[in-house]
Structures are given as C-alpha cells and as structure tokens.
Amino acid sequence: MMIRLLPLILVLLSSLAVAQECHLTPGWGAMKPVDIVLQQGGKNISMAIRVADDALERAAGYQWICERDAVGTAVLFVFPDTLHSSFHMRNVYVPLDIYFFDASGNQVDAMVMRPEPPGKGLSPRYYQPAGSFKYALEIARQQSHQLDSTPAPMRLLPDSL
C-alpha cells in the first residue's frame, strides 16, 4: 500500500515546490512604469518606479518576485484615500525599504522590511507606520546595505505622478 502511495506523494511534493518558486505575477506585469521625483537632503531625485494603484497591483507588490527581477526596482503603492494600515513580507524574497507618505508627500515613517519567502514562519510579521498615509514606496534594498540601518528621510512630490 505504501509503495503505491509513494509516487502520489512525490507528485504532490513536487507540485508544492513548483508553486513556491519565485516568478513574475500578473499584478507585477500590470504595474505602470513611471518616473517620480523625491526630495532627499534638499536635492530632487528622479526615480523610475512601478505604480500599484489598483487592488490587483497593490495586493501583488513584490510577492513571488525573484531576487534577480526585484533588484534595482521600486514600487509606489497609491491608495484612493489616506489610511492607517500595515504591510507584510509574506512570499517576498528580498529585503525592502518602505517609506510612507501622507497626501502632501511628507514622510510619515520609514523602515526596513525583512523577506519572508514561502515556507518561512507560520504567521507574517506586519509593518505599520506611525501615522496615516496615502502613498507607500517600497525600494528593493541592495544586498550591500546593512539590514539594521534606517532608510534615509525623503519627501515625495505627488505632482510628479
């Protein structure tokens, strides 16, 4: 009996392994590439980003995106209204800096989020800013950065959207 079940068990396990591999998602592909302007240290910085401005794109974020596809990217989550919510890193393979901005583009908070690839941990860690926000900018953290360093303060210029 066990010998007959072994092939079935192996097929199920291999299916789970494939389902947990990183890949590009429909939500990631639907995000529009645009340039935004940020202010940091009194200087304007132009940054190429992906815009997640609908439910599918915001739900997708960096989930399932391979490290090779995530490095050097940024995603700006745009919400219809100001809200007080949190983000998680479930099914994310790379560390991210996240910046939260109010409707005027003022930074509300910033933090480093640690990856939680599939199969790691039973419950996700949540990252919640100190206040309400309308925009959240996630930037793939370069491996050369220390995970404990705080992201540098920035201001988003919403008119650049």
Structure confidence by residue, pLDDT tens digits, 56-107 = 999 999 999 999 999 999 999 999 999 999 999 999 999 999 999 999 999 9
CA nearest to 72, candidates 48, 54, 93: 48
Question: What are the angstrom distances between the C-alpha of 4 and each of 1, 12, 13, 62?
Answer: 5, 14, 15, 40
For the stretch 6-40, pLDDT in tens is 333 433 333 344 456 999 999 999 999 999 999 99
For the stretch 104-155, pLDDT in tens is 999 999 999 999 999 876 788 999 999 999 999 999 987 545 556 778 899 9
Task: State residue 12's pLDDT score.
Answer: 37
Q: If you write DSSP's letter for every residue of 86-142 in order, what string do you get?
A: -EE-BTB-S-EEEEEE-TTS-EEEEEEE--B-TTS-SS--EE--SS-EEEEEEEEPP
% of the chain with per-residue pLDDT over 90 = 72
More confident residue, 46 or 5: 46
Task: State residue 152's pLDDT score.
Answer: 82
More confident residue, 161 or 18: 161
Instruction: Decide if 115 contacts 125 (C-beta within 8 A).
Output: no
Task: State residue 149's pLDDT score.
Answer: 73
CATH architecture of 22-160: Sandwich (2.60)
pLDDT mean across residues, the chain: 86
pTM across the whole model: 0.84
More confident residue, 52 or 149: 52
